[in-house]
Structures are given as C-alpha cells and as structure tokens.
C-alpha cells in the first residue's frame, strides 16, 4: 500500500510543479509554440536520467522511492499527452512548420537530456 501512496504523492508534486513551470514560462515568454511544455519535458528527461543512475547504481533506497520519483513525480511533471495535443493543434491549424519544429525539438532535446543526465551522473 505504501508504494501506491508514494506514487500518488510524487504525482501530486510533479503535476503541481509542471503546472507552475508551464504557466510561468507561458506568461514570461509568450509564443505560438508551447515552450513551457517543451521545457518541463526536457528538464524532466534530464532529471529522470539522473534519478535512474542514482537509484539503480549509486544509492540504496527503499523500494517505494523509485516509483515515487520516476513514475510519480517525473511522470506527472513531464507530459506526453499535452505534447501530442499541442503538436496536433499546430497541424490542424495548418502550422506545419511550427508542428515539425516542435516535434523535432521535443524528441531531440528530451532524448539528449536523458542521455546527458545519465552520462553526467555516471561521470561524477
């Protein structure tokens, strides 16, 4: 039961963090492209690389920490469904260049951020 509670707690904090970062970024840097979603996905991808190495290779933690941090917090902090909707919204509006740029940037930056998080954490 504790594992479910830990995922729920991590998810609540992750969702609140994503909402805050996305709202702040959208107000601070208004744009037609949803850079707030891109930002949380890239940051979350970087963090999951770090957490993965720390929890699986460096630090021995209780069994509920991995799902709390990775599935709960980072799963709620990042958002593939919002990315999908925003991409499709650009396509449906005929903004094909925006859609292509957003999709390409998201995939390249998120995968690179995860790789960077893993690599940096393993190095240090």
79 is in an annotated binding site: no
Question: Do the beta carbons of residue 44 and residue 74 sit within 8 Å?
Answer: yes
* % of the chain residues with pLDDT over 90: 91
DSSP, collapsed to helix, strand or coil, labels residue 62 as coil
Domain that holds residue 35: 2-123
Flag whether 28 is marked binding: no
User: pTM above the 0.75 mark?
Assistant: yes
pLDDT band at 44 (very low <50, low <70, confident <90, very high): very high
Packing angle, helices 35-53 and 80-92, rounded to 10: 150
Nearest residue to 63 via CA among 55, 54, 73: 55
What is the total count of domains within the chain?
1
Q: Which of 103, 104, 123, 112 is nearest to 46 (CA)?
A: 112
pLDDT score of 32: 78
Q: What percent of the chain has pLDDT over 70?
A: 100
Residue 96 pLDDT grade (very low, low, confident, very high; cuts 50, 70, 90): very high
Using the predicted structure, report yes or no on whether residue 34 has a pLDDT greater than 90: no
């Amino acid at each position: 039961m504790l594992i479910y509670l830990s995922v729920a707690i991590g998810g609540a904090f992750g969702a609140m963090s994503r909402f805050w970062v996305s709202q702040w970024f959208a107000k601070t840097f208004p744009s037609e492209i949803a850079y707030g979603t891109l930002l949380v996905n890239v940051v979350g991808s970087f963090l999951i690389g770090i957490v993965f190495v720390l929890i699986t290779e460096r630090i021995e933690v209780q069994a509920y920490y991995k799902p709390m941090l990775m599935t709960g917090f980072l799963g709620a902090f990042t958002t593939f469904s919002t990315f999908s909707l925003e991409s499709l919204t650009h396509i449906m509006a005929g903004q094909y260049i925006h859609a292509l740029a957003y999709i390409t940037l998201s995939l390249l930056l998120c995968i690179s951020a995860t790789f960077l998080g893993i690599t940096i954490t393993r190095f240090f």
